Structure 1
Amino acid sequence: MVELPPVVARMWGREHASRRGPRPRLDLATITAAAIEIADTEGLAGVSMGSVAARVGVAPMALYRYVGSKDELLTVMADSAVPPPPERGDLSWRDYLAAWTRANRDFLLSRPWLLSVQGLTPPMGPRRLYWLDRVLDALGDTTLDDAEKFNAATALSGYALTDATLVHTMNAGGERLAAAGVTGATDYGEVLAEVLDPQTYPALSAMMRSGLLRDSEGWTEDADFLFGLNLLLDGIEALMSRRAPRPGD
């Protein structure tokens, strides 16, 4: 039987509890909730063992009874901050995967500090693994094998993380660009058209000079997200078609 890493055992309530000594004043849920509150208001930079200890009214060393390090705390936070996945109901596998990916992207945008945490470790806690289970369940009756189902889920979760990171970065960068006089996609495209050398950047330069971004509403419009999502879903559907039995087989 495999020995669980301490942080995983704690997240799943599988850690051996000692009956000796006084009853603990804290628990992992209380510590994690305090850390999430700090991250929500101050960003990830505000989270430290000291700031969390102050929030729950104990000395920093008292936290190490529950989490072995700040990295362990971040791992638990990355799981505890995740909401439940969407219900499937009567949705087809494709419609559910679309709804799942959008919900994944949206909760990451609602808590941007998760963008810096979720890519560091694979899902190991009960909440993130339940999201994974729901995708695999939606693909359960398809022609994909187990490895393909798992890889499809990984590709969609990676896309949600990448798109949320791009949207968040563009929003933050937009404020800085506005301060520099670049107030939208049109201005951005015109700046690129001006600085790009057609000899070095022939394809990109031609696109910008053609006015590609002139009528754009920005990088965050829903059409951009759906374009990439549909590329992935089309690919998954094409793979299913190749796996389907042919007449006469």
Structure 2
Amino acid sequence: MQQESAGEPRRRASRNSLNPGVIVTAALALLGDQGVEAFSMRSLAARLDVRPMALYTHFRSKDELFDAVRDQLLELTPPTTAGGWEDQIRAIAHRLRARILQYPFLITLMLTRPLSGRETADSAELILRSLRDAGFDRETTTRAHVTLLTHVLGATSWETQWAAQHPDPGQPSMFDALPRSRYPTLAELAPEMRLTAGGPAQFDFGLDLLLDGLRHKLPDDPEAH
């Protein structure tokens, strides 16, 4: 293969080789490396070896690109589990949690960008359909969906923030530094409190509580929904 000489200018990728999928994939990698705050269209263009204006052919602004990244990450396919409604919802919840933990910047995109409905449409459809098929009435189904979704987002956001602030699990936590005279119960339970900072056990604890409560709201006659 012919090598470029030291004085030869670097060839830029053709604008025709760009498409929204290529741009979003590169943006995902760059966001993972730099985070949302440091991200710029110029740095993305440099990674793709194109001029910045080439990106604006496909996305009118950085915010529009962020929305495309967010929507792609939250696209979900139906779970393959053959279990009942609880197994279906567990599978959906765990996949959402895994996606957020894999791409922690997703929380920032969800909290800072206006909601359009598209970003949670896939998960909403899967959860709502599982609940309706189980026999829940319309109002319980929609309220349960919001409750389940906020559990996933809240618990995983807490877990992500804790992990960023406490990279060493063995280091003292904020609970250890509290004055025992003022917070005797917190001081007593500090070792156990560290266990609630995140992880699958804590996530499943909250999810189990929600599912147990929902089970008691199932109508006696599933056909009545």
Q: Which residue of 2 aligns with 1:58?
A: 50
The equivalent position to 2:208 in structure 1, one of 223, 230, 237, is: 230
TM superposition score normalised by structure 1: 0.71
Aligned-partner Cα distance in 2 for 1:147–1:215: 37
Aligned-partner Cα distance in 1 for 2:151–2:102: 16
Amino acid at match of 1:230: D
CA shift in 2, pair 1:24/1:148, >3 Å: farther
TM superposition score normalised by structure 2: 0.77
Unmatched tracts of structure 1, length 5 or more: 1-22, 198-204
Runs of 4+ in 1 over 4 A off after TM superposition: none
User: CA offsets per residue over residues 195-223 of structure 1, 9 Å max, x none?
Assistant: x63xxxxxxx24224x1123555322433
- CA-based RMSD of the aligned residues comes to 2.8
CA shift in 2, pair 1:141/1:55, >3 Å: same
Q: Which residue of 1 aligns with 2:190?
A: 213
The number of residue pairs the alignment matches comes to: 205
Unmatched tracts of structure 2, length 5 or more: 1-14
Amino acid at match of 1:108: I
Q: Which residue of 2 aligns with 1:190?
A: 176
Greater mean alpha carbon deviation, residues 217-226 or residues 130-139 = 217-226
Report if aligned partners of 2:155, 2:198 keep a CA contact under 8 Å in 1: no
User: CA offsets per residue over residues 122-167 of structure 1, 9 Å max, x none?
Assistant: 4416xx5333222222123233233432332222222111111111
User: CA offsets per residue over residues 161-202 of structure 1, 9 Å max, x none?
Assistant: 1111111111122149x8xxx8245xx4332243x63xxxxx
Aligned-partner Cα distance in 2 for 1:101–1:216: 23
Amino acid at match of 1:183: Q
Identity %: 25
Report if aligned partners of 2:75, 2:122 keep a CA contact under 8 Å in 1: no
2:106 corresponds to 1:114: yes
The equivalent position to 2:156 in structure 1, one of 148, 156, 164, is: 164
